[in-house]
Amino acid sequence: MSTPPARFPGRRKIQPLGFGAFAAAVLAATVGFAGPTEGHSVTSSRHATAFAFGAPGKPAAVDRTVRIKARDVSFDVSSVTVKAGETVRFIVTNEGVADHDFTLGDAATQAAHRKEMLEMAGMDMGQAHHDDANAVFLKSGETKELVWKFGKAGQIEFACNVPGHYEAGMKGVVAIQ
Ligand SMILES: [Cu+2]
């Protein structure tokens, strides 16, 4: 990736050119990365996007922002209270070293997601995992947003469904009032 300055003997702006080449290489890598994940758009299309506890919200309609930190192996908050019909932007940061995810769901939805994560456990998570409508997958250091419009009143969970994490207590309660 580093371009020998000798390749541009007549040019003085070696550094900008070098940076441009670097940016192009990063772009190429990003485009290349789209390949293996492409198949998952097919997989995710069969996933539900609307649930009794809500549906993806519109960023323009956000009522409130809630920040949550994922650590090894817990979240920094144990409960969040929201109103039925409220649109909340969750900003989740993975401050841990391990991969984590943040999934909103009732018990059945969380269990289904855990099963899916377990089936993918043998694959490279970074390439294999996609973000479902109600979940974001975070590698170490990543921050992602999930905008959710909550449905009817009830109690659901937010949880990390990376194998073993939910069982270790990486979960919390979302009370919809
Ligand atoms: Cu986790």
Residues 52-99 have pLDDT tens digits of 899 999 999 999 999 999 999 999 999 999 999 999 999 999 999 999
User: Average pLDDT over the chain, rounded to whole?
Assistant: 79
Residue 9 has pLDDT above 90, yes or no: no
For 24, the domain range is 5-37
Residue 17 has pLDDT above 50, yes or no: no
Interval between CA 100 and ligand 1 midpoint (Å):
4
Overall domain count for the chain = 2
Three-state DSSP at 165 gives coil
pLDDT band at 29 (very low <50, low <70, confident <90, very high): very low
Interval between CA 62 and ligand 1 midpoint (Å):
26
55 and 23 in one domain? Answer: no
Residues 123-141 have pLDDT tens digits of 665 555 667 899 999 999 9
Could you tell me the CATH number of the domain that includes residue 93? 2.60.40.420
Interval between CA 150 and ligand 1 midpoint (Å):
23
Task: Please state the rounded mean pLDDT for residues 25-54.
Answer: 51
H/E/C letters for each residue in 40-107? HHHHHHCCCCCECCEEECCHHHCCEEEEEEEECCEECCCEEEECCCCEEEEEEEECCCCCEEEEEECH
118 and 88 in one domain? Answer: yes
- The CA distance from 117 to 109, in Å, is 12
60 and 12 in one domain? Answer: no
Contact 66, 80 (CB under 8 A): yes
137 and 71 in one domain? Answer: yes
Domain contains 43: no
